Amino acid sequence: MLDHVGFQCADLAASAAFYDAVLAPLGVRRLADFTVALGYGTDHADFWIGTLSEGDGFRESHIAFSAGDRAAVDAFFQAAVAAGAEVLHKPGLHPEYHEHYYGAFVRDPDGNNVEAVCHRPEGLPEQAPAS
């Protein structure tokens, strides 16, 4: 449903190192580098980070990245912790959202709430999209 999302970052290099590390377990990589903005994705850049260029004050943003399985959520979390992220919620089920919602939540270097989530029951392989 979303075409792309972007965050402004106080320290682009620190944010780039964080997202390079935590998105790799989800199969996402840096696809575009325009010096002041970096784009990440699988086929095309649909998540962007850029230098802080407008506005003042901080407002937390939240973004949830889709994970192919629960192991990818766990790997995202491990990479985030290794990159120095503040832990908001360790990997686990969140039945308040739905029965199979398995997610992990951390803060990125700018204080944004970043999540990896898998919606499938444990052990169920990822299904190809309907054509």
* Amino acid identity at 35: T
Within a domain: 130 = no
Whole-angstrom CA distances from 79 to 24, 86, 98 are: 9, 12, 25
> Residue 12 is part of which domain span?
5-50+65-118
Is 0.95 topped by the overall pTM? no
pLDDT digits (tens, 9 = 90+) for 80-124: 999 999 999 999 999 999 999 999 999 999 999 999 999 999 876
Q: Is the pLDDT of residue 9 over 80?
A: yes
Q: Which two tokens stand for residue 53?
A: 């260029």
Within a domain: 58 = no
Tokens 């407008």 correspond to 54
Within a domain: 56 = no
Rg of the chain in Å (alpha carbons) = 15
CATH number of the domain that residue 98 is part of: 3.10.180.10
Within a domain: 111 = yes
pLDDT digits (tens, 9 = 90+) for 17-61: 999 999 999 999 999 999 899 999 999 999 999 998 777 777 788
Q: How many domains does the chain have?
A: 1
Within a domain: 129 = no
The set of residues, in sequence order, having a beta carbon less than 8 Å from that of 115 and lying 6+ positions away, is: 62, 63, 64, 65, 103, 104, 105, 106
Q: Is the pLDDT of residue 129 over 60?
A: no
